[in-house]
Each structure stands twice: as structure tokens, then as C-alpha cells.
């Protein structure tokens, strides 16, 4: 497996806010894949992967929505629906109808809440000079991977893993050279890991 990570021996700035110092503990790891032998759509095609570590500070790590936030929002909107169902449960038929209506309304309200939260999060990031998650493609190592045909998902679930193929070794050299040409070779560490 090919890995590209920030060189934390030098001060590294958080990619998301562009202000705070990044911490390895909070980095965002994204996996990209590249097909090696794309002959025809078959199970014989193989791929190798590259994991990119995107530097992130504690503040940006904790500003994500997270499971707790999702759970809280769900409770906030589903609780009134549950109360409505309990109130209407005095007769089975009306209770069942209210349960269906309540459940559908609960789903709608949760979707609305998630959309509102996403909009507020993006607004706060832009207000603080930050970069929303959807701009990860602008991070230099990710840009290089996309340039050389990497994707963020496997094109075919039947593909098998290639272990340190010649293409994988040559790709690490190509990426390292690109970073050197851009005078960025001291900012990133490109390495190969056997057995991943």
C-alpha cells in the first residue's frame, strides 16, 4: 500500500481551517484506488490503494457532526412524534395510523435537520476561512492521485488486491518526483507498506 502523509517533523497547518497547527492524532485518512490491469470488466483485474492523511487540528476534528449530534437531532424531532403516537394509542386503528404518520413526519424532520446542520457547518467554515469537506480534491496529494487515475471507490467489487506490484512502486517514484518539482518534497512523506 502506498501512503502519503504530512511531514510532522515540521509545523503542519490544518488543511480545513488553514490557521491552526495540525495534529497527527486528528488527521483525516482517505483511501484511493488505482486499477492496474484493466483489460476487460472481469474479476481478474487488480488494483492497489493509496491512503492519504489530510492534516487536521483538534477544533476542525471536533466540529464535525458526529454520531452524538445526529442522535441528539433525531431525538429532538422524533420525540414529539413518539408522544403523538402514545397519545393516539387508545384505539389500535387510530394508533396505527398515527404511528405511520408520526414515523413519516419524523423522517422528514430528521432530513430537514441534517440539511440545516450541513448548511450551518459550511457557513461557519467559510466564515472562519475554512475549507468544507467537499474541497478535499484541492489537497495537493489528492490532486496528484486524481491526476494519475486514482478514484475514491473500487470500480469493481470483484477486483483482487495487488501486493507491491511494479506499477505501485513506480507510482511512489512518480508522486515523489512531482512533489520535488513543486518544491513540496519536505512537506510530505511518501512510503510503501508491505502487507496492507
Taking only the tens place, the pLDDT of each residue in 79-95 is: 666 666 666 655 555 65
10, containing H or E segment: none
| Mean pLDDT over each residue of the chain, to the nearest integer | 74
Residues facing 21 on adjacent strands = 13
71/15: higher pLDDT: 15
177/92: higher pLDDT: 177
Q: Residue 175 is placed in which grid cell?
A: 508522486
**Around Cβ 41, how many Cβ atoms within 10 Å?**
10
- Close Cβ partners of 148 (under 8 Å, ≥ 6 residues apart): 34, 171, 174, 175
Would strands 46-54 and 28-35 be described as parallel, antiparallel, or unpaired?
antiparallel
Identify the weakest region by mean pLDDT among 31-40, 50-59, 64-73: 64-73
What confidence score (pLDDT) does residue 153 get? 82
The dihedral built from the CA positions of residue 189, 66, 68 and 22, taken in this order, carries a sign that is positive
Over 80: is that where the pLDDT of 174 sits?
A: yes
Q: Residue 156 is placed in which grid cell?
A: 469493481
Q: Which of 6, 51, 5 is nearest to 32 (CA)?
A: 51
Grid look-up 489537497 returns 139
Amino acid at each position: 500500500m502506498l501512503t502519503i502523509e504530512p511531514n510532522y517533523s515540521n509545523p503542519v497547518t490544518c488543511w480545513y481551517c488553514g490557521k491552526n497547527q495540525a495534529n497527527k492524532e486528528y488527521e483525516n485518512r482517505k483511501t484511493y484506488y488505482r486499477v492496474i490491469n484493466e483489460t476487460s470488466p472481469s474479476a481478474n483485474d487488480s488494483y492497489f490503494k493509496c491512503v492519504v492523511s489530510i492534516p487536521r487540528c483538534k477544533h476542525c476534528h471536533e466540529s464535525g457532526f458526529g454520531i452524538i449530534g445526529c442522535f441528539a437531532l433525531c431525538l429532538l424531532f422524533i420525540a414529539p412524534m413518539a408522544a403523538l403516537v402514545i397519545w393516539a394509542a387508545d384505539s389500535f386503528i387510530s394508533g396505527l395510523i398515527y404511528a405511520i404518520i408520526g414515523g413519516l413526519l419524523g423522517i422528514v424532520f430528521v432530513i430537514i435537520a441534517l440539511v440545516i446542520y450541513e448548511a450551518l457547518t459550511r457557513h461557519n467554515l467559510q466564515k472562519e476561512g475554512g475549507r468544507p469537506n467537499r474541497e478535499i480534491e484541492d489537497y495537493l496529494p489528492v490532486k496528484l492521485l486524481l491526476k494519475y487515475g486514482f478514484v475514491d471507490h473500487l470500480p469493481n467489487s470483484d477486483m483482487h488486491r495487488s501486493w507491491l506490484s511494479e506499477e505501485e512502486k513506480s507510482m511512489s517514484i512518480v508522486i515523489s518526483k512531482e512533489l520535488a518539482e513543486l518544491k513540496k518534497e519536505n512537506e510530505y512523506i511518501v512510503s510503501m507498506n508491505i502487507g496492507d
